[in-house]
Amino acid sequence: MDAEDWLADTRTSYDTVAVSYADQLRGVVDGAPYLRAALALFADAVRAAGDGQVADVGCGPGHVTAHLAGLGLDAFGIDLSPAMIEVARRDHPGLRFAVGSMTDLDLADGSVAGLLAWWSLIHLPDSVVPSVFGHFRRVLRRDGALLIGFHVGHEVRLKTTGYGGHPMKVQVHHRQPEQVADWLRDAGFTVEAQLLLDPDEDVPQALLFARLRGAPDDIPTSA
């Protein structure tokens, strides 16, 4: 499957489920103490680096963007799905949201102090992840903070329905934290911490905290 195919399938799928997705995830962070703690640590890391804009890349309906704003960060959201952005603007009218793709991130070099990818990398093919991390490195300023959340495992499964039974067509990648950490290091990041959630469940979750040490240079940004 080429880039245009999986990007189009992902965009269409999340356009289809946008309203029901937002309804199901509303309040989910409030009921998840470890996720709240991780986001608070991320906010502290951004402030320690001198504060500045924070990009929530793959923001969906904007609920985590809004949580970051509630922690005092200058957070804005970017998502591939126009319908998701419509819902985010409806639910959080005081925040900034834009349609965009992490595979071609339309942000200026060194323009953000923090970047969040909150379970938004799970539909990327392995071959694309290093390029995306190159974009993350390019747009983060020196000492910028990065937080990534993802499913843990070894499998790739095709998701055909979700969020109220609506049709979807997306590949869901479960990855090992060591692999994601290696990709981050190859892109120039220092991995600072790893948190494993629900280790006794069938599909654990992981959070990786990383920091950009040094200025962006010649890291490739295309697959």
The per-residue pLDDT for range 92-115, each reduced to its tens digit, is 999 999 999 999 999 999 999 999
Residue 213 has pLDDT above 90, yes or no: no
Task: Please check the confidence at residue 186 and state whether its pLDDT lies above 80.
Answer: yes
Using only C-alpha atoms, the chain has a radius of gyration, in whole angstroms, of 16
Position 162 scores a pLDDT of 83
What are the backbone angles phi and psi of residue 124, rounded to the nearest 5°? Answer: -80, 135
- 169-173, 187-191, 217-221: segment of lowest average pLDDT: 217-221
Higher pLDDT, 214 or 170: 170
Q: Summarize pLDDT for 149-180 with one digit per residue, the tens.
A: 999 999 999 999 888 888 899 999 999 999 99
Nearest-angstrom CA–CA distance, 200 and 206: 13
pLDDT at site 219? 46
Residue 214 pLDDT class (50, 70, 90 cuts): low
pLDDT at 27: 86
Comparing CA positions, the residue from 96, 108, 109 lying closest to residue 56 is 96
Name the strands in the sheet holding 53-57, side by side, starting at the edge strand that comes first in the sequence.
96-99, 74-79, 53-57, 112-118, 140-151, 205-212, 189-197
- φ, ψ for residue 96 (rounded to 5)? -100, 135
Closest-CA residue to 54 (of 100, 110, 115, 138): 115
Per the prediction, the chain carries an average pLDDT of 93
CA dihedral 15, 16, 22, 23 (to 10 degrees): 160
To the question of domain 3-212 being in CATH 3.40.190.10, the answer is no
- Percent of the chain whose predicted confidence (pLDDT) is above 90: 86
Residue 29, SS3 per DSSP: coil
pLDDT in tens, 62-94: 999 999 999 999 999 999 999 999 999 999 999
What average pLDDT does the segment 202-219 reach? 80
- The pLDDT of residue 203 is 94
Q: In the chain, where are the structural domains located?
A: 3-212
* 215, pLDDT greater than 80: no
Q: Which two tokens stand for residue 28?
A: 């989910």
- For 115-143, the pLDDT digits (tens) are 999 999 999 999 999 999 999 999 999 99
